[in-house]
Chains A and B, each alone.
Chain A
Amino acid sequence: MTAEHPATAAVALPETQAPSDAYVPSARRLERERIRRARTRRATTVATVSTVVTGTVLVLAVLASPGWPRTRETFFSAHYAREALPKVLDGLLLNLRLLVICGAAVLALGLLLAIARTLRGPVFFPLRALATAYTDFFRGLPLVICLLLVVFGVPALRLQGVTTDPVLLGGTALVLTYSAYVSEVFRAGIESVHPSQWAAARSLGLTHRQALRHVVLPQAVRRVVPPLLNDLVSLQKDTGLVSIAGAVDAVYAAQILAGKSFNYTPYVVAGIVFVALTIPLTRFADWTTARMDRRRTQGGIA
Chain B
Amino acid sequence: MSTTDAPQAVLRLESVRKTFGTSVVLRDVDLEVAPHTVTALIGSSGSGKSTLLRCANLLEEIDDGAVFLDGEEITDPRVDPDTVRRRIGVVFQAYNLFPHMTVLENITLAPRRVHGVPRDEAEDRARELLERLGLGDRAGAYPDRLSGGQQQRVAIARALAVRPRLLLLDEITAALDPELVGEVLGLVRELKEEGMTMVLATHEMGFARDVADQVCFLDGGVVLERGTPAEVFGAPRQERTRRFLSRLVEAGRL
Judging by beta carbons under 8 Å apart, are A1 and B17 in contact? no
Residues on the A chain within 8 Å of B23, using CB: 1, 17-19
Judging by beta carbons under 8 Å apart, are B46 and A19 in contact? no
Partner of A12, one of B22, B77, B144, B220: B220
Residues on the A chain within 8 Å of B92, using CB: 302
B65 at the interface (CB under 8 A from A): yes
Judging by beta carbons under 8 Å apart, are B78 and A35 in contact? yes
What are 29 A-B pairs at a CB distance below 8 A? Answer: A1-B23, A1-B25, A7-B45, A7-B247, A8-B47, A10-B243, A10-B247, A11-B44, A11-B47, A11-B220, A11-B240, A12-B44, A12-B219, A12-B220, A13-B221, A16-B24, A16-B220, A17-B23, A19-B23, A21-B24, A21-B27, A23-B24, A25-B64, A26-B65, A28-B65, A29-B65, A32-B75, A194-B99, A302-B94
Judging by beta carbons under 8 Å apart, are B17 and A23 in contact? yes
Judging by beta carbons under 8 Å apart, are B27 and A11 in contact? no
**Residue of chain B at shortest CB distance from A24:** B64
A36 at the interface (CB under 8 A from B): yes
Judging by beta carbons under 8 Å apart, are B47 and A1 in contact? yes
A222 at the interface (CB under 8 A from B): no
Q: How far is the CA of A151 from the CA of B75 in the complex (A)?
A: 66
Residues on the A chain within 8 Å of B219, using CB: 11-13
B10-64 contacts to A, CB under 8 A, are: 15, 17, 19-25, 27, 44-48, 63-64
Judging by beta carbons under 8 Å apart, are B46 and A1 in contact? yes
**Residue of chain A at shortest CB distance from B64:** A29
Q: How far is the CA of A238 from the CA of B67 in the complex (A)?
A: 56
Judging by beta carbons under 8 Å apart, are A298 and B21 in contact? yes
A195 at the interface (CB under 8 A from B): yes
Q: How far is the CA of A21 from the CA of B65 in the complex (A)?
A: 16
A70 at the interface (CB under 8 A from B): no
A120 at the interface (CB under 8 A from B): no
Partner of B24, one of A18, A35, A196: A18
Could you tell me the distance in whole angstroms from the C-beta of B88 to the nearest C-beta in chain A?
A: 19
**Residue of chain A at shortest CB distance from B73:** A28
Residues on the A chain within 8 Å of B144, using CB: 195-196
Judging by beta carbons under 8 Å apart, are A26 and B15 in contact? yes
Partner of B22, one of A19, A32, A195, A196: A19
Judging by beta carbons under 8 Å apart, are B247 and A32 in contact? no
Q: How far is the CA of A3 from the CA of B238 in the complex (A)?
A: 23
Could you tell me the distance in whole angstroms from the C-beta of B68 to the nearest C-beta in chain A?
A: 12
Supplied contacts A1-B48, A16-B221, 16 more A-B pairs, CB within 8 Å: A1-B46, A4-B46, A7-B45, A8-B45, A10-B247, A11-B44, A11-B219, A13-B220, A13-B221, A16-B27, A17-B23, A19-B24, A28-B64, A29-B63, A29-B65, A32-B77
Judging by beta carbons under 8 Å apart, are B93 and A11 in contact? no
Partner of B64, one of A11, A18, A21, A26: A26
A39 at the interface (CB under 8 A from B): yes
A5 at the interface (CB under 8 A from B): yes
Residues on the A chain within 8 Å of B231, using CB: none
Q: How far is the CA of A226 from the CA of B99 in the complex (A)?
A: 23
Residues on the A chain within 8 Å of B45, using CB: 5, 7-8
**Residue of chain B at shortest CB distance from A10:** B243
Residues on the A chain within 8 Å of B65, using CB: 26, 28-29
Could you tell me the distance in whole angstroms from the C-beta of B81 to the nearest C-beta in chain A?
A: 14
A119-178 contacts to B, CB under 8 A, are: none
B66 at the interface (CB under 8 A from A): yes
Judging by beta carbons under 8 Å apart, are A11 and B63 in contact? no
Q: A25-B64, A28-B66, A36-B77 are in contact. Are A8 and B243 (CB under 8 A)?
A: no
**Residue of chain A at shortest CB distance from B20:** A300
Could you tell me the distance in whole angstroms from the C-beta of B175 to the nearest C-beta in chain A?
A: 13
Residues on the B chain within 8 Å of A39, using CB: 77
Q: How far is the CA of A196 from the CA of B97 in the complex (A)?
A: 13
Judging by beta carbons under 8 Å apart, are B244 and A11 in contact? yes
Residues on the B chain within 8 Å of A5, using CB: 44-46
Judging by beta carbons under 8 Å apart, are A35 and B77 in contact? yes
Q: How far is the CA of A223 from the CA of B77 in the complex (A)?
A: 32
Q: How far is the CA of A35 from the CA of B46 in the complex (A)?
A: 32
Residues on the B chain within 8 Å of A26, using CB: 15, 64-65
Residues on the B chain within 8 Å of A7, using CB: 44-45, 247
**Residue of chain B at shortest CB distance from A4:** B46
B190 at the interface (CB under 8 A from A): no
Judging by beta carbons under 8 Å apart, are A32 and B76 in contact? yes
Give 1 or 0 for each of B224-254: 1 = CB within 8 Å of chain A CB.
0000000000000000100110010000000
Could you tell me the distance in whole angstroms from the C-beta of B79 to the nearest C-beta in chain A?
A: 11
Could you tell me the distance in whole angstroms from the C-beta of B41 to the nearest C-beta in chain A?
A: 15
Q: How far is the CA of A238 from the CA of B156 in the complex (A)?
A: 53
Residues on the A chain within 8 Å of B63, using CB: 29
Residues on the B chain within 8 Å of A8, using CB: 44-47
Q: How far is the CA of A5 from the CA of B25 in the complex (A)?
A: 15
